[in-house]
Amino acid sequence: MIDISEIVAEVNTLKQQLDHAQLSYRDSNLKSRREIVILKRLITRLTIACRGIDNELDNTLQSITHDLEQPLEISRLIPRLAIVERLVTQQADVIQHQNNHLQQQINQRSHTLIQHQNLPMSLQQDLDHLVSQQPTTLLDNHQRIVRLLELYERSIKSLTATDNKNTLSNDNQPNFSVELVAELQQIITEIDFINDQGQQLFSIRNQLAQGVDQQTLLALLVQVLRLIVSGTHNERYASQRFLNTLNSDLASLQKNTAKTASSFSVLHQHRHDFNTGISTIVSNIDQQLTTPEGITASWENITYELQQLAQRNSQLEQREQALIEQLNHTDNKVQQLQQQTYSYRQRLSQQEQNIFRDKLTLTYNRSAFNDRIEHEYQRWLRYQNPLLLVLIDIDNFTQLNNDYGHHAGDKALKIIAQTISHQLNPTDFIARFNEDAFTLLLTDIDQQQCQQLMNNIQTAITQLPLHFKGQSISISVSICTSFFNHNDTPKNVIQRIETALRHSQIQRCNTVIHQ
């Protein structure tokens, strides 16, 4: 018999559990709503704070803000929140890099103003105070920029009031002229005009190497620009002429090919008719040779028909010979076009090599390096294969040029470039990074292989038998390596190894640093 009291007790227990579950659900629901409100508020403030920094970040935050207004599960937003986290981290690194660059530029411009001799003492003291500040945020640097502009305005007014004809730019004019000469020489080196413009540009480069005054430099600059424009027009005209000739020859070949195909079709039909005629004559001969009378009566007809067939066969042979000559002419034309196209392609390839090759060391130049590192960086982002950047700087290279001359420095650069290249695999990339440094891009290499390779390069360069002015010279290099990791970009990796290598060379040379 069922005990009613037990049933009542069990029902009460279930009721209590239900009430507890309802309370828990209510608390969880309220907590979830509060979290959604907090998340909405955070996303809204983050959207406002990050607005205008990055388009992808703006679009992602706006999309999340819109979705938060809809009834959906928060778990569905987790992938996009992860994207926001990655973008925010990247932007933080970018802002930090920009802040450092901005701080460096402010200090440099402040020092430029300080070095001017005609500024009032109070203004120089304000500039010294501006340089001595140690900003920690981007906002601090923005305030320093405003202050620097105020000081710059005061400097202009002060210089104008004293009627000083020496402007701030005059202090940097010699350096500017030197940099302009170097840039012009580099541009002329990368241009590959094989016409009169090329010879004139080569003469200008030799003239720049011997040294020119400012007025001559400006005149040569204008002349270089005119020669580049003129040479470009000539190159474009030559290309258009080549393409027009190629188009005309191809149209002629197409016409001749169509005519030859039509002639072959007609010739084929005539051959068919000729064979049909022979078959008819053979059939008539078989019929007429059955009796002696038929042989005598048809002999003249058979002879006449055979003569006609011989004439038709001769005409067919003449047509075949004409078609063969036409085909030979077409084949020669095609070979000429092939040769012209190959020569043109070889010239374009040579021009491309001249653009992306360093003339002295025959390694790739900085432009080629910029293109290659961007390509390898995109591959690294996609596949996450190891990507190593190496900077190799020649120790005391300026002293070598001063002691033994620039010819000795050029010879050393060539030999060192060859030595490094011999240590690399065919798929590795080497470029001249600046005057006395080379950079390497290596893929599919681990840390141990990297250390061994750098030691081999350093040892091989140290053991080079270099002789200048009857003296044996020992050259060493300092090396810095860094793998791409996490949120790295080509700019911050380059900056990282440059900074590390510069600090290392201050302490001692002939070192290898692994970042």
Please state the domain extents for the chain. 48-162, 173-242, 247-354, 366-514
pLDDT at 378 over 50: yes
Confidence band for 294, pLDDT divided at 50, 70 and 90? low
In CATH terms, the fold of domain 366-514 is: Alpha-Beta Plaits (3.30.70)
Q: What pLDDT score was predicted for residue 466? A: 87
d(CA 361, CA 374): 23
Confidence band for 480, pLDDT divided at 50, 70 and 90? very high
Q: What pLDDT score was predicted for residue 291? A: 58
Most confident of 349-363, 426-440, 465-479: 426-440
pLDDT tens-digit map of 323-332: 777 777 777 7
Q: For 114-123, 228-237, 381-390, 417-426, which range has the lowest pLDDT when averaged over its residues?
A: 114-123
Q: What pLDDT score was predicted for residue 172? A: 45
Average pLDDT on 466-478 reads: 87
Residue 123: closest CA among 100, 144, 154: 154
State both tokens at 250: 């191809």
pLDDT at 162 over 60: no
Q: What pLDDT score was predicted for residue 483? A: 95
Residue 245's contacts (CB-CB under 8 Å, 6 or more residues apart) are 340
Q: What pLDDT score was predicted for residue 157? A: 67
Residue 325: closest CA among 253, 412, 260: 260
Q: How far apart are the first and last CA of the chain?
A: 83
Residue type, 247: N
pLDDT at 176 over 70: no
Q: Is 439 in contact with 390 (CB distance < 8 Å)?
A: yes
DSSP at 51: T
Pairing between β-strand 466-468 and β-strand 477-483 as defined by DSSP bridges? unpaired
d(CA 401, CA 379): 40
Measured at the CA of 485, the angle between CA 484 and CA 490, to 5 degrees, comes to 40
Q: DSSP 3-state assignment of 174?
A: helix
Residue 367's contacts (CB-CB under 8 Å, 6 or more residues apart) are 355, 356
- Give, for 374, the enclosing helix (H) or strand (E): helix 366-383
Average pLDDT on 229-255 reads: 69
Sign of the C-alpha dihedral computed for residues 497, 499, 503 and 509 taken in this order: positive
pLDDT tens-digit map of 54-88: 677 777 777 777 776 766 666 666 677 777 777 77
Q: What pLDDT score was predicted for residue 354? A: 66
Q: What pLDDT score was predicted for residue 490? A: 93
Question: 490-507 vs 78-114: helix axis angle to the nearest 10?
Answer: 50
Most confident of 190-199, 211-220, 317-326, 500-509: 500-509
